[in-house]
A and B are shown apart, each in its own frame.
Chain A
C-alpha cells in the first residue's frame, strides 16, 4: 500500500517528513496514559478559571 508522505514546516520554517502509518490508527490507550487522562480531567475540573 502506498503511504502518504507529507512535508510540513515547523519552528523557524524547518521541515519534517510525516509518513502516514495505518498501524497507528487504532492505538489502544494503555493504563499509563489512561491514568494521565483521568488526572488531567480531575485537575481541570478543579481549576477555577477554566474554561478560559
Chain B
C-alpha cells in the first residue's frame, strides 16, 4: 500500500488501543483505533474514529482533513501490529453506514493482493454467512485473520 501513513502511534501496553493525530487543512484531530473483546472466543471488534470529549470513539465524524487514505493506512498498520502480537485473534469490522462500508470495501479491494499476503479476509454477506472476500461484492462486515506464516 503506497499510501502515506501516520508513522508515530501511541499504544496501550497490551495493544488494545492505538492513538494518533490526524493533521490537515482543518487542524488536528485525535484519532483512536481500539480492539474490544466480543465475548466470543478469540473474536475482537475493530473500531476507529475521532475521540470524543467523553473519551468514546465516534466513527461517523468526517474531519475534512483530506487525509482519509492516510488514516486508513494507519489503521491497517495498527491491525498489523496488533495481529503480530495476537496472531490467532479474529478481527471483526463493521462500519457505521452503508456509504462507509462501500468505502472500506473499495479500500480493501484496491489493496487486496497486498492485504491477502498477510491476512485471510472474509466478508459477511446479507445471507448471514462468511465467504472469502472478493472485489466489489456486497457485504455487511469483514472478518479478518492473520495468516499463519
Contacts of A20 in B (CB 8 A): 10-13
A8 and B56 in contact, given A16-B9, A25-B13, A44-B40 (Cβ under 8 angstroms): no
| Total chain B interface residues with beta-carbon distance under 8 A | 54
In B73-88, the 8 Å CB interface with A consists of 73, 76-77, 80-81, 84
Q: How far is the CB of A43 from chain B (nearest CB, A)?
A: 7
Asked whether, in the complex, the Cβ of B5 is within 8 Å of the Cβ of A33, the reply is: no
Residues in B lying within 8 Å of A, measured CB to CB: 1-2, 5, 7-14, 16-19, 32, 34, 36-41, 43, 45, 47, 49, 52, 54-59, 73, 76-77, 80-81, 84, 90, 92, 94, 114, 118, 122, 124, 128-130, 140-141, 143, 145
